[in-house]
Structure 1
Amino acid sequence: MPQPVPSSASVSARMSRQGSRDTAPEIAVRRLLHASGLRYRVNVPVPGMARRTIDIVFPRTKVAIFLDGCFWHGCPQHATQPKSNAEWWRAKLDKNMSRDTETTGHLQDQGWTVLRFWEHESPEEVAAQVRAALDRRLADQAGR
């Protein structure tokens, strides 16, 4: 995909500052999980898939957590459609969503529980759902 020409210097500067890891939602969720006694790894490569990482990982229980940005991952509530370079952006964002689906399927095929959350979701609710998923996985593993 060819690089688009920036629509303005301010757009170019803003996009270059866009973080892809350690975002505010990720840090908020991680703090809550850590405070509740859970230990995890961050930004771990997806096994068997180059250039893809999992935001929060519980390797022993094989639970992968993704905190997706509304713009970059196509949130049905908050996604926006850029007007400049619209065709390029539509293809870029569609590719991101396709990659998310592919990554989730790949991990699930390898026995992982995959949880995806939007950046606008309450960190407390996300942490509660993560804890519940971990409890289920631990119970499943203990029953084997």
Structure 2
Amino acid sequence: MDKVSSQQRSINMSKIKSKDTKPEKIVRSLLHALGYRFRLHRKTLPGTPDIILPKYKAVIFVNGCFWHGHDGCKRAAIPDTNKEFWERKISANKARDQKNIFDLEKLGYRCLVIWQCELKDKNLLIQRLLNFLTSNTI
């Protein structure tokens, strides 16, 4: 049983942003501090990547662990209420994410997924970004 009313749940869900989220802003700030310039949310690309670095033919998705089903992450635990709905929803999100990455790679883009839980260790995140942007492999 849900602890909040359906009206309150609707209000809560409507406030969840899909772009310009705090995790996205953290990654963008780090990239900018490292000297990288980028574009945001190109609707012409599959999946509308969060960050696009055209010079490097690279895209970055900053994914919430729950919404995108980060395997093995405690933040990705499926709620006990309405379990079947959430399992279908998260499974569909994961399939869509995989298809978008496949389509982007077919277009020649290199793709990086940064998970919300990875933002805790800034030094590791910076190293991961640098490794991704300085390598030439997909």
Q: Which range, TM-score by smaller chain?
A: 0.7 to 0.9
- Measured against aligned partners, the alpha-carbon deviations of 1:81-114 in whole angstroms (never above 9, x if no partner) come to 1233322222111100000111111111222111
1:71-86 equivalent positions in 2, closer than 5 A? 71-76=66-71, 77=73, 78-86=75-83
Distance, in Å, in 2 between the alignment partners of 1:10 and 1:124 is 38
Aligned to 1:130: 129
Structure 1 residues without counterparts, runs of 5 or longer: 1-5
TM superposition shift of 1:9:
2.5
Q: Alignment partner for residue 18 of structure 2, among 17, 20, 24?
A: 20
Distance, in Å, in 2 between the alignment partners of 1:106 and 1:14 is 33
Please identify runs of 4+ aligned residues in structure 1 that moved more than 3 A: none
**SS of the counterpart of 2:67?**
helix
1:1-144 equivalent positions in 2, closer than 5 A? 8-45=6-43, 47=45, 49=46, 52-76=47-71, 77=73, 78-122=75-119, 123-137=122-136
Letter in 2 for 1:131: L
What is the aligned residue count?
130
Range moving further from structure 2, 84-93 or 120-129: 120-129
Q: Percent identity?
A: 36
**SS of the counterpart of 1:117?**
strand
**SS of the counterpart of 1:39?**
coil
Aligned to 1:3: none
Letter in 2 for 1:108: E
Distance, in Å, in 2 between the alignment partners of 1:71 and 1:126 is 19
**SS of the counterpart of 1:111?**
coil
Letter in 1 for 2:117: H
- The TM-score with structure 2 as length reference comes to 0.83
Distance, in Å, in 2 between the alignment partners of 1:100 and 1:46 is 16
Q: Is the 8 A contact 1:46 1:54 kept in 2?
A: no
**SS of the counterpart of 2:28?**
helix
Are the structure 2 counterparts of residues 124 and 28 from structure 1 closer, same or farther at C-alpha, using a change threshold of 3 Å? farther
